[in-house]
Amino acid sequence: MTDDGGHAAPHELTRLVLTPRPQQSPGFALPGLSRRVLVTDDGRGIAAEVVAALVARGVRAETMCAGLPFDDVPPDTGCLILLDALRGPRRPAEASPQLHGELLRRLGLLTRSPAAVDSVVLVHDGGGDFGLSGRQGGGAWLNGATALARTADREWPDITVKAVDLQCAGRPITEVGQALSQELLLGGDEKEVALAADGERYMREFVPAPPVPADRATAVDSRSFLVVTGGARGIAADCLAALATGRSPRLLLLGRTGLVSENSRLAALDDEPSLIRALLEYDKAAGTSRPLPQVRAAAARLLASREIRATLQRLERAGATVRYRTVDVRDSDAVRVCLREARGEWGPVTGLVHAAGVIADKAVAEKTPEQFDQVFTTKVAGLRNLLDATADDPLKTVCLFSSVSAVVGNAGQSDYAMANAVMDHLAPHLAREHPDAHVVSMAWGAWRGGMVGPQLQEHFTDRGVALIPVQEGARAFAAELAAGSGPARLVLVPDEQQVRCWGEKSPAHESGPDQGKLTATLLTHGTLQPELADHAIMGRVIVPVATAVEWMARAVVPPGDAGGSFVLSDIKVQSKLAFDNYPGAEWLSVQRSPAPDGTCALRLGRPGSHPQFSAVGSVGTLAPPAAPQETPEPLEAYTPPNRRFRYGGTSRFHGPMHQVLQEVVHCDPAGAQGIVHGLREMGWDAAEPWRTDPALVDGAVQLAVVWGEEVTGRPNLPMAVDRYEMHRPGPAPGPVTCRVTARRADRMRAICDAVLLDADGGLRAALGGIQLIIRPR
């Protein structure tokens, strides 16, 4: 097998493509939402809608005054929601540097704020699918905020920094505000989500793409005229050499480094220290004196000029026709003039390769405006100028050099990551604008060379990040461009695992005694869980065991877990969890503490207090429950009910939304059977991220209470469940059959098991050891 240039096919780098994966919300609130929430004004009314939706649910939210610096936010602020990227300027390409620079500056100020915020959310409109469809249009120029969030999250281990891609175009402002507020209330601390207009919620997933077919006809040949930035030096030069071999394109290389002449006596000196010494000696002999930094800069220019000349010779030997022009790609007039002159010799431009890049690594709080401008505008303003200058050219190829730092974030590279994230989001948009062109943004992993020096290579090695061999990466670049078609966004790394390695925090945050622990908050409110109002005694809402099971299950079962099976054992009501001011807001805490045996201890209750519910959770494949081992003790005879169930009285206090037990068809000392309706039939909010069907679980407990009252002759209360098993996740599609089987009963308590069976006879859930305690008179 050979490549298009007749060479042996190299070992392929792993090609990954980003895919939106639908995923249910975790079901917990964003950290800090229980304190003051500030929302920056977007100028379109979205902020007002978000604030109104949060306030209606009892959250202390308010719109942040325009221009209020982040180092002066109120001390009790727990959460900042930044909607700056939704302002929608008329010319987003020109507004991009200012927007991203201001976001970076304000986040840097946050580190000096007296407010110990728990979370920061950066919201942008990437079309609700991470920009993959390009339907966000020119707004793609404003979508670097997502990489700023990833980088800040790496640098701030104690703050949750979240990126939300919120599709806004064509939607009512009220709907947009409701969608974002719902994510804040139920999306937990998940770091990046996309919210589409159709209500779908997506997480990012990277999946391997097939290798480029080696026999595909080349899309780059001797008729191609490619304008290349950053290709005269470094790894981009190696990429161009691989592309030129056997294809002989015409290449116009643009770079800021000028070609300088040098004294022939310096030609033999090939390292910077030797050049510096020689230049100092020349200055001394000439009776002049320059500051050492100027001498160092002169030596660096000489070496850079040599490298450029060597690249030009190398490309010509590979068969390319090459021109180099000293042009700052950020200068739109200079770019336009340069391309106009080149067209006079070579004709229309057929392709762009934008590989120019600058790094100036500093933490978010330490970035200077000058550093940001140099790093960000080289990428973003440079591309804008190239596109403007080639607006009338028949482009067939547009290749943007991006970085994996934009995909997962990298400490110290906030500006670089933002600039490359803009490249990634622009590629699908440009593909829509140029349907006949092959547009691709290549997010490269770290190379073994170029800007990655020995010290940085050692850093990557310590993190387990493999480096891309230069020859292998160059061949991969050539194969992509020669293919002439393919995904608009690619991640190119030595292996699939490298994306995970890049995204990890420092080793101190990867393991240790706190690994796997979780403390999450959830908000209860009449607008969120109206069904709780129908589980009240004498005006006080009492949280039922079934609801506690649901909330604790959210800490055990990952969102959207396809397997779905899990177990909660040793479920206990430690004390009554009652709400006196319902439907007002009530904040609760769910805690998960992993154990060495793979289980986890769960606690549910008010923050900072003793838990009201506890359980032990585990996930795994479940077998059908075994038959009970105990035989119920004989009791006095009574008449089986065989009747339509009726609510009323102290034990059957449930309001309409909790009257789930529709019929008791059988009851005797051995057990009972009834028909139970799930949450869908009862009108509970189907959009909640349900792990279980708490209406069914409560129905099973209600039927157990009916059985317990019949066999003991006294009202009773459910106080504990030995084991809850979920075999089928989420809400039931329709009514189910509940069967209660007795274990034992006496004059003080009764114990039974219960199963919930779907219409097809399949087991949905099982409750073992429901303990019913006789209520005092």
Spatial CA neighbour of 698 closest among 683, 676, 713: 676
Reading phi first (left if > 0) and then psi (alpha if -120 to 50, else beta), residue 400 is in beta
Q: Which fold has domain 643-774?
A: Thiol Ester Dehydrase; Chain A (3.10.129)
- pLDDT score of 498: 64
Contact, 407 vs 16, CB < 8 A? Answer: no
Helix residue spans in 143-187 (DSSP H): 145-155, 173-186
Measure the CA–CA gap between 126 and 428, rounded to whole angstroms.
11
- pLDDT score of 710: 87
- pLDDT score of 630: 46
β-strands 566-573, 536-537 pairing:
unpaired
Spatial CA neighbour of 252 closest among 312, 194, 168: 312
419 half-sphere exposure, CB direction, 13 A CA radius: 31
Residue 521: C-alpha distances to residues 197, 395, 569, 640 (Å):
27, 52, 22, 45
- Kindly name the residue from 84, 153, 668, 698 that is annotated as catalytic: 698
Length, in residues, of the chain: 777
User: pLDDT tens digits for 522-577?
Assistant: 999 998 999 999 999 888 999 999 999 999 999 988 776 545 678 999 999 999 99
Contact, 751 vs 745, CB < 8 A? Answer: yes
Tokens of 318: 């590979």
Q: Which residues contact 86 (CB under 8 A, 6 or more apart)?
A: 42, 44, 46, 123, 124, 125, 166, 168
Contact, 141 vs 418, CB < 8 A? Answer: no
Residue 225: C-alpha distances to residues 216, 248, 345, 352, 693 (Å):
20, 10, 11, 9, 62
Sheet holding 578-579, edge to edge: 536-537, 540-542, 578-579
Query: Model-level pTM?
Result: 0.89
Measure the CA–CA gap between 415 and 372, rounded to whole angstroms.
6
Q: Which fold has domain 518-619?
A: Thiol Ester Dehydrase; Chain A (3.10.129)
Q: Which CATH superfamily is domain 14-210+350-489 in?
A: NAD(P)-binding Rossmann-like Domain (3.40.50.720)
**Reduced DSSP (H G I as helix, E B as strand, rest coil) percent helix, strand, coil of the chain, to 5:** 35, 25, 40
- pLDDT score of 716: 86
Query: Which residues in the chain show pLDDT less than 70?
Result: 1-11, 66-67, 214-217, 449-464, 496-515, 560-564, 620-645, 649-651, 776-777
Tokens of 72: 């002066």
Reading phi first (left if > 0) and then psi (alpha if -120 to 50, else beta), residue 586 is in beta
Domain range annotation of the chain? 14-210+350-489, 225-342, 518-619, 643-774
Judge whether 535 counts as a catalytic residue.
yes
Question: What stretch of H or E contains 446?
Answer: none
- pLDDT score of 653: 86
Peptide bond into 583 cis (omega under 30): yes
Reading phi first (left if > 0) and then psi (alpha if -120 to 50, else beta), residue 246 is in left
- Asked, colleague to colleague, whether 14-210+350-489 and 518-619 share their fold, the answer is no
- pLDDT score of 7: 38
- Kindly name the residue from 354, 425, 535, 654 that is annotated as catalytic: 535
Judge whether 666 counts as a catalytic residue.
no
